[in-house]
Structure 1
């Protein structure tokens, strides 16, 4: 018999939450009632800015530089506490689809997607669910659209017709982090405005072979 997720301590650690999608996730979880640990690799100022927004939502926040060795310890503490929990990995549409010139990135995201499924199997009995969220093009610094309203950017090749907003990714994370998602594990939630649906159509309507250059 699997162990239920009881007690439901609303505490979350969000890696890379100094900007972009991570920042949006931290703020959205705070608004959902979570205390948040904000982590960063090099942008302390960005992390502190995120922390201010978390506290403005009425939640506690701690800011720390990211040390990857902390993550296994955090997982072990979750197991030792015996109350279950949630692990939500942020992958990419390139967990599911290749992109020319991005072999290392696609391999990393694909590997994380499969690791998510293995962890889901291994941790389910402890009441810990493990899922992935796979964003498409999101208006962040990574895609060259930081501080841009995605509704003003045309993307004819995406069914929704625009890039996504980081808050739209964060909303899916918040859903998976909640107690109502207790029966969801090992899944990958694509947040891409329908981008991955366009494979055959996009392939038959490309006007040239420039895509081969990455």
Structure 2
């Protein structure tokens, strides 16, 4: 499905990023795992991928800084001479009510979630344009589609990712590059595990399928968009949310 493709995944140390990396490797891709702080998790992931017969390398970079995002792309090209797939998954949240949210909380989330996506797309696109081929998949969120109390910064960043996706899709389509977004709903990760039980119960009640999703289910959607089966799909937002936002 992705045999011999070179895939760069940001924020690959855990959660959804880890699940995407595992599925990519399972389908034959060689994976460049970006991380900022989660070195031990990435090292464990490389070992797991190796045991499965796959290949992966790790590159430390803070994608909210353009020079480091550029370094990430350069290291991938130095190792593999090309980049076929870019998955912008790195993201953080600093939740607070609008009136209590600080400028630092707002800027930190925008810097990683939106600017980090922009920086990686910008530098990967330069490589893909020369190849006249590439798949870019940006991880947004249902919060970017519907908003959420206490997450004005996160919602704004993820809505921005959708606008960025659609704009880049229009710019790059004639050069053989597709750009799409995946908008996960509530997925079982460290972030959702930390939610109070009452919040979890209320969240599940709002999901028609009546459960949180699995990271592997998001990864499946990303793998589809990265595959040749999705060659005629660009500028789209695929929600993986159990019907939460229709």
TM-score range, shorter chain: 0.7 to 0.9
Partners of 1:76 and 1:9 lie apart in 2 by: 20
Partners of 2:125 and 2:40 lie apart in 1 by: 27
Look up the match of 2:191: 142
Partners of 1:157 and 1:107 lie apart in 2 by: 22
Count of equivalent residues = 183
CA deviations on 1:102-131 (whole Å, 9 max, x unpaired) are 111000000000100000000101100000
Look up the match of 1:190: 239
Q: Does 1:91 pair with 2:140?
A: yes
Look up the match of 2:17: 22
Q: Does 1:54 pair with 2:46?
A: no
Q: Does 1:115 pair with 2:164?
A: yes
Instruction: Extract unaligned runs of 5+ from structure 1.
Output: 1-7, 147-153, 198-214
Look up the match of 1:73: 123
Q: CA deviation at 1:145?
A: 6.2
Q: RMSD of the TM alignment (CA)? A: 1.9
Partners of 1:85 and 1:75 lie apart in 2 by: 8
3-state SS in 2 of match to 1:96 = helix
Q: Higher helix proportion, which one?
A: 2
Partners of 1:76 and 1:61 lie apart in 2 by: 23
Partners of 1:140 and 1:89 lie apart in 2 by: 18
3-state SS in 1 of match to 2:23 = helix
Instruction: Extract unaligned runs of 5+ from structure 2.
Output: 64-68, 71-119, 196-202
Partners of 1:187 and 1:130 lie apart in 2 by: 8
3-state SS in 1 of match to 2:170 = helix
Q: 8 Å contact 1:139–1:145 — kept in the other structure?
A: no
Q: CA deviation at 1:76?
A: 1.1
Q: CA deviation at 1:142?
A: 1.1
CA deviations on 1:59-89 (whole Å, 9 max, x unpaired) are 211101124232233321121223x110000
Q: Which has the higher contact order (CA 8 A, sep 6+)?
A: 1
Match of 2:28 among 33, 52, 56: 33
Distance 1:113 1:34, change over 3 A: same
3-state SS in 2 of match to 1:155 = helix
3-state SS in 2 of match to 1:99 = coil
